[in-house]
Structure 1
Amino acid sequence: MAEVEIVVAHRERATLRVGEVFLKVDADRARADAEVEAMALAPVPTPRVLWRAPPVLALAALPGTALDSTASPAAWAAAGAAARALHDAPPPPWPGPSPEEIAARLDRECAWFAADDVLPADLLTRNRRLADTALRPWTPVFTHGDLQASHVFADGDAITGVLDWSEAAPGDALSDLATLTLGREERLADVLAGYDADVDTGLIHAWWSLRCLLVVRWLVEHGFDPRPEIAVLEARR
């Protein structure tokens, strides 16, 4: 008999695995609707929808394993190529966050960092300065919105699918590339080789700082370990 595995769970949503089926429970019906539509629109492999009975979405498991430090350079390059295919596709028909909206959120998060002394003041200032450079005007593209390596599955050197499209929206292409390589700077060259476009790596570094500043408090409040993100911020000296 297959056992129930808790993949991830927090106050907003949860994902369970039962055999070869993933069950996503999301109390936000609009967000779940957008995820299903994003998977249908995305020009890259995504999990097959088996059935849906809100608030539950059942998805078929993807073959292969999530990208990690043992994946080949070719697999990381294939992930870059998949990101490029996504960014070249027409964006989904709903709005994404603007630079101004992200800047307002960044203000709130940096105030929290300062109030709780989470980082030395000089390091917070350094990362905030870097993060601000990412918030320039951009041409919105189809972004995954949370393109962590753990959401990208590969079998050998081939990408078999991309999970978790709940944050998909028009946005900055470099945010996806930064999320994919966050904490894995040694893989950036492989990803960019597959992406095959001129990319300002300085802006990817800026997005590393921005993403970490935005997510650390959420991780703490939802019971996750923020130390990897803190380490990225500490490395921006």
Structure 2
Amino acid sequence: MDEVNVVVAHSERATLRVGEVFLKVDADQARLDIEVETMALVPVPTPEVLWRKPPVLAIAALPGTALGRLGEPSTASPAAWAAAGAAIRQLHEAPLPPWPGRRRQGPVEFAAELDGECALLVKNGVLPADLVTRNRQVAEAALRPWTPVFTHGDLQIDHVFVDGDEVTGIIDWSEAGRGDALFDLATVTLGHEDRLDALLAGYGTDVDLDVIRAWWSLRSLLGVRWLAEHGFDPFAPGCEVDVLRSRM
């Protein structure tokens, strides 16, 4: 009998693996609705939906392995990173989804949330004030108007699967919606700045590197406290706090 492996589990959702099947349990049905609808729309490979019985979604495992893991060097080839960039470009060029997205809607909302989070990080002694202040300055470059595209919304490096130099699929679409293309590019390269050139070679267009760096700071500032409160370690080597330190 296949073992049940807990992939991720916290108060919002849990993902279990049983053999070649992943079971996603989520009390928020809107997240599962968006995930299923997005996988039917996007022009990139995604897992097969096997069945759905709220609050559970069953999807098939993808062939290949994740592009990498946060906090670990990526062993994927430059060609694999370029293929990931090309797939992300396909997504960003797709027609906009009919929903706006669950994430923040624009630079004004981001700025308000960011300022509040920075204040809490310093007040609660989570991070030194100078580290927060410097990264808040860096993050400012991301807080500009952007043309919305179809974004994944949570395109972490381990959400992209490759087999050799080919992308076999992208997973976890519950945050998909209209957003900033550079947010996706920054999320997949968070903690892997050395792979950005290869990714952009496949993406195939000029991007503002200062904005990419700004999103690294912004995403890390917003994530540190949530991660710590949900059983993750943003202070682990190569993770969010190290990303913030690299801006000093």
Please give the TM-score of this superposition, normalised by the length of structure 2: 0.94
Q: C-alpha separation between the residues in 2 aligned to 1:118 and 1:30?
A: 32
Q: C-alpha separation between the residues in 2 aligned to 1:173 and 1:73?
A: 21
Counterpart for residue 75 of structure 1: 80
Counterpart for residue 62 of structure 1: 62
Could you tell me how far 1:117 is from its partner in structure 2? 2.4
Picking from 171, 184, 195, the partner of 1:176 is 184
* AA of the residue aligned to 1:176: D
Picking from 115, 119, 142, the partner of 1:111 is 119
Give CA deviations for 1:68-116 in whole Å, capped at 9, x if unaligned.
2111110011011111000000121111322212222112210111102
1:161 aligns with 2:172: no
SS in 1 for 2:45: coil
Counterpart for residue 245 of structure 2: 234
SS in 2 for 1:51: strand
SS in 2 for 1:62: coil
Q: C-alpha separation between the residues in 1 aligned to 2:114 and 2:40?
A: 31
Please give the TM-score of this superposition, normalised by the length of structure 1: 0.98
Give CA deviations for 1:133-171 in whole Å, capped at 9, x if unaligned.
101000000000111110000000000000100110100
SS in 1 for 2:220: helix
1:73-222 mapped onto 2 (5 Å cutoff): 73-96=78-101, 97-222=105-230
Counterpart for residue 37 of structure 1: 37
Q: C-alpha separation between the residues in 2 aligned to 1:107 and 1:202?
A: 20
Please report the RMSD computed on the Cα atoms of aligned residues, expressed in angstroms: 0.8
Identify unmatched segments of 5+ residues in structure 1.
none
Name the % identity: 72
Could you tell me how far 1:60 is from its partner in structure 2? 0.5
Relative to its length, the structure with more helix (as a share) is: 1
Aligned length: 237
Counterpart for residue 25 of structure 2: 25
Could you tell me how far 1:119 is from its partner in structure 2? 2.5
- The farther-off stretch of 55-64 and 92-101 is 92-101
SS in 1 for 2:15: strand
Give CA deviations for 1:47-80 in whole Å, capped at 9, x if unaligned.
0000000000000000000012111110011011
Could you tell me how far 1:118 is from its partner in structure 2? 2.5
Counterpart for residue 7 of structure 1: 7
Could you tell me how far 1:41 is from its partner in structure 2? 0.9
- The farther-off stretch of 41-50 and 123-132 is 123-132
Q: C-alpha separation between the residues in 1 aligned to 2:138 and 2:126?
A: 18
